Amino acid sequence: MINPTELPDLTKASVQTLSDPLVSQKGIKIDVLRLDKIHTIISGNKWFKLKYYLQLADEQKKKGIISLGGAYSNHLVATAYMCKLAGLSSAGIIRGEEPANLSPTLHAMQAYGMSLQFYSRQAYRDPNLIERVQEAHPDFLLIEEGGRGLPGVQGAEEILHLAAFHQYSHIVCAVGTGTMMTGIINSALPSQSVIGILSLKLNTDHPPSILNFIQQYSRYSNFSLLDNLHFGGYAKKNDELITFMNKFYRRHSIPTDFVYTGKLFFGAMKLVEEDFFDAGANILIIHSGGLQGNMSLAAGTLDF
Ligand SMILES: *Cc1c(COP(=O)(O)O)cnc(C)c1O
């Protein structure tokens, strides 16, 4: 467990060119913005999505932050860590009954001082859950599941500035709530095409509409959301995905997770194969970090 004193180091967000025969054969170029390298816990997009929420909590003189998520939530562990850094309390509403053995992610949340409250899946689905949680914790700033919301979008608008992003024709990213993608759309040039690879089924596993959210908060409409690369839904996986992630790591030394970025890179390579991109395309893929989900896999499943 790392000591929660370390801030992310944005200078570590390198841009890595994928050297892949298929990519060169198609006459395109793919660069990867390695947000996964900025920090081990506040990995990837979560730093950007959370920073303005922390500022808000401070401005509103809140005692802490409360949010919601699953037992392997990248969002919650990042929230716990950032609150600890900022000297704020944190509380997490966890989907599902308390397990006999806490997941490593839940352990880490607790170690960073987050108090955990377990809700049965049924209680968690209550449409009034958010209101009830906020009422019960008036001195906590509530962040929606996954950091969904405008402050998250505003933070995500800073991501592209870590790369010389003007040169790219396409920007490709993973989509959970769509918060990061909205920030990327807002900061991309209107002439660039932003492609979101959904890690869950559109408008089925998630009550609030991802598309409505993106449309509500984005300034441009130069984006598309791909709904056919999620392997059956949120956190669903199969052997093909795991095999791809291992091969991808061996070839490029880029670790991915099966919830978001494994599907992102699998999807991007499939698009390349299917000639989705014209020759000459110059593509930037955002590696959004977040490897917590992999801890739910049996030891030895992954080569990294
Ligand atoms: C949380 C997360 C996402 C999803 O971001 P949204 O803003 O919710 O769409 C994507 N990739 C990784 C690695 C994540 O941890």
Please state, as a whole number, how many other Cβ atoms lie within 10 Å of the Cβ of residue 109.
27
How would you write the pLDDT of the chain (304 residues) with one tens digit per residue?
445 578 899 999 999 999 999 999 999 999 999 999 999 888 899 999 999 999 999 999 999 999 999 999 999 999 999 999 999 999 999 999 999 999 999 999 999 999 999 999 999 999 899 999 999 999 999 999 999 999 999 999 999 999 999 999 999 999 999 999 999 999 999 999 999 999 998 866 555 689 999 999 999 999 999 999 999 999 999 999 999 999 999 999 999 999 999 999 999 999 999 999 999 999 999 999 988 889 899 999 999 9
Q: 260 CA distance to ligand 1 centroid (A)?
A: 7
pTM: 0.96
Q: 25 CA distance to ligand 1 centroid (A)?
A: 31
Q: 21 CA distance to ligand 1 centroid (A)?
A: 29
**In the prediction, which pLDDT does 206 show?**
54
Summarised one tens digit per residue, pLDDT across range 272-295 is: 999 999 999 999 999 999 888 898
Q: Which atom of ligand 1 is nearest to the CA of 148?
A: 8
Residue nearest to atom 3 of ligand 1 (CA): 176
The residue among 147, 153, 130, 173 whose CA lies nearest residue 260 is 173
Task: Give dist(CA 297, CA 299) in Å, integer.
Answer: 6
Q: Which atom of ligand 1 is nearest to the CA of 196?
A: 9
Task: Give dist(CA 62, CA 142) in Å, integer.
Answer: 10
Of 211, 261, 288, the residue with max ligand 1 atoms within 8 A of its CB, to mutate for a pocket test, comes to 288
Summarised one tens digit per residue, pLDDT across range 91-111 is: 999 999 999 999 999 999 999
Please state, as a whole number, how many other Cβ atoms lie within 10 Å of the Cβ of residue 149.
18
Tell whether ligand 1 has an atom less than 6 A from the beta carbon of residue 177: yes
The residue among 94, 261, 107 whose CA lies nearest residue 172 is 261
Classify residue 214 as exposed, middle or buried by CB count within 10 Å of its CB (0-12, 13-18, 19+).
buried
Tell whether ligand 1 has an atom less than 6 A from the beta carbon of residue 75: yes
Task: Give dist(CA 5, CA 270) in Å, integer.
Answer: 40
Q: Which atom of ligand 1 is nearest to the CA of 147?
A: 8
Summarised one tens digit per residue, pLDDT across range 45-85 is: 999 999 999 999 999 999 999 999 999 999 999 999 999 99
Amino acid code (one letter) for 58: D
**In the prediction, which pLDDT does 292 show?**
87
**In the prediction, which pLDDT does 3 show?**
56
User: Phi and psi of 95, rounded to 5°?
Assistant: -75, 120
**In the prediction, which pLDDT does 113 show?**
96
**In the prediction, which pLDDT does 202 show?**
82
Tell whether ligand 1 has an atom less than 6 A from the beta carbon of residue 196: no
**In the prediction, which pLDDT does 204 show?**
61
Contact 31, 15 (CB under 8 A): yes
